[in-house]
Structure 1
Amino acid sequence: MLVAALLSALCAATLAVADPRTAQIYIQPLATSTKPEPLAEISYDTLSLDATSVVAYEAPELPETADLVRIGLYDPKSSRWISGTTVASADNFSKGYSPHLLLTVDAQGEVLSAACKGVRVDAGQTRDFGPQAAVLVEGKGKQPDLNKPVVLSPEGRKVEEQEKTFLQKYWWMIAIAGFLALSGGGAEK
């Protein structure tokens, strides 16, 4: 009985840590006024980025007049884009190219934007021709190292700092030299 309770608690903790999500990516040719169509469904976990995979992929049927496509997350119910979109060339989906999808997510795992890049496939070098996915988690950037703040006078002018005198800078060296001079030596026999 105790073992079963311990095992179920362990399973619940494991499920609480793993937070797999899915994102439905849409594509829309810019030259025409067609509605966005599903392109791919990506499963990802912000804690384990290696587990990112393409669950479903439909090669888009683009009109010959389409040079550019819009890629992002789209809500068909409200007919609006729900993430940042990127514009890519329609050549990324032509024969001989493998689409590589990139999701940018925030720290909570919500998708901020989606992008696609066509990578040329060399049949002699690789056997992985299918679409691939990667997730980029947004992080806080490095903060600049700032110097001392600028001090302004009540009139708004920069206050000039007075340079220290020789005694103010090196008083401690003079004190050490004086101590050595006074304590050195000793009585001779």
Structure 2
Amino acid sequence: MKPATILSGFAALALASFANASERTATIYIQAVTAKPATPAPLAELQFDTLSPTEAQILTYEAPDLPDEAKLVRVGVYDPAAKQWSSSTSVASVDNFDKGYSPTLILTIGQSGVPISAAIRGVRIDAGQTRDFGPQAVVLVTTPGKQPDLNKPVVLSPEGKQVVPEEKSMLQKYWWVIALIVMMSVLGGGDEKK
């Protein structure tokens, strides 16, 4: 076997594993907010790609069976093994699951692909506008914020106000160009014609 064939095979394998490394899944759980809260139950499983989060898909969705006295629900990513929420949670009204509303699951992830928070909102369905009544998924990826410019001292006047530097005139900015032109015209002589 040729070494180039082996090398191209390894490159293809590495590229395929890199493409699959960005695909992730997250399970969103729901818990009714009542006097005696029950264990959170799975609501939906989302598949998303950290490189193209707009193509998120809902793999499974189980409509919640909520008690009649529940008015609010808690939504988030839950770890059943540790029995604790592994992301921040949001509280939503049970009206988001009423007839005439389509649930939209919103998952916020960090740049590494780890879920940070989950939320749900019900979007009113207009039967004349759309044929897709099922749940939708939206994945938001956080981006780093603008960092402050450090090591630039702020100049203050004796009164404590910020000093704004004055704008230089054209002569102050380009005096060296004028000096160069004058020097070239004085020192630069041409051939004398006889």
Q: Please, which of 90, 93, 96 is the counterpart of residue 86 of structure 1?
A: 90
- Could you state the TM-score of these two structures normalised by the residue count of structure 2? 0.74
- Contact 2:156/2:163 (8 A) holds in 1: no
Take 2:55 and 2:166, find their aligned partners in 1: how far apart are those partners? 60
Q: Please, which of 55, 65, 72 is the counterpart of residue 68 of structure 1?
A: 72
Take 1:57 and 1:110, find their aligned partners in 2: how far apart are those partners? 21
Pick closer, same or farther for the CA change 1:162–1:50 going to 2, 3 Å. Answer: closer
State the secondary structure of the residue aligned to 1:50.
helix
- Is 1:42 aligned with 2:42? no
- Contact 1:52/1:134 (8 A) holds in 2: yes
- Is 1:118 aligned with 2:122? yes
The letter for the 1-side match of 2:11 is: A
Cα offset for 1:151? 4.6
Take 2:14 and 2:5, find their aligned partners in 1: how far apart are those partners? 12
State the secondary structure of the residue aligned to 1:13.
helix
Pick closer, same or farther for the CA change 1:162–1:76 going to 2, 3 Å. Answer: closer
Gaps of 5+ in 2: 184-194
Partner residue, 1:184: none
State the secondary structure of the residue aligned to 2:126.
coil
Take 1:12 and 1:149, find their aligned partners in 2: how far apart are those partners? 48
Partner residue, 2:20: 18
The letter for the 2-side match of 1:75 is: D
Pick closer, same or farther for the CA change 1:160–1:121 going to 2, 3 Å. Answer: closer
Take 1:89 and 1:56, find their aligned partners in 2: how far apart are those partners? 22
Cα offset for 1:74? 0.7
- Contact 1:102/1:136 (8 A) holds in 2: yes
C-alpha RMSD of the superposition: 3.6
- Contact 1:22/1:43 (8 A) holds in 2: yes
Cα offset for 1:150? 3.3
Pick closer, same or farther for the CA change 1:43–1:152 going to 2, 3 Å. Answer: same
- Is 1:27 aligned with 2:58? no
- Could you state the TM-score of these two structures normalised by the residue count of structure 1? 0.75
Take 1:86 and 1:15, find their aligned partners in 2: how far apart are those partners? 34
Partner residue, 1:52: 56
Deviations 1:22-44 (A, max 9, x none): 00100001124211110000001
Partner residue, 2:112: 108
Pick closer, same or farther for the CA change 1:133–1:151 going to 2, 3 Å. Answer: same
Take 2:45 and 2:165, find their aligned partners in 1: how far apart are those partners? 65
Structure-to-structure mapping, 1:129-144, within 5 angstroms? 129-143=133-147
Aligned length: 176
Take 2:15 and 2:166, find their aligned partners in 1: how far apart are those partners? 62
- Contact 2:30/2:41 (8 A) holds in 1: yes
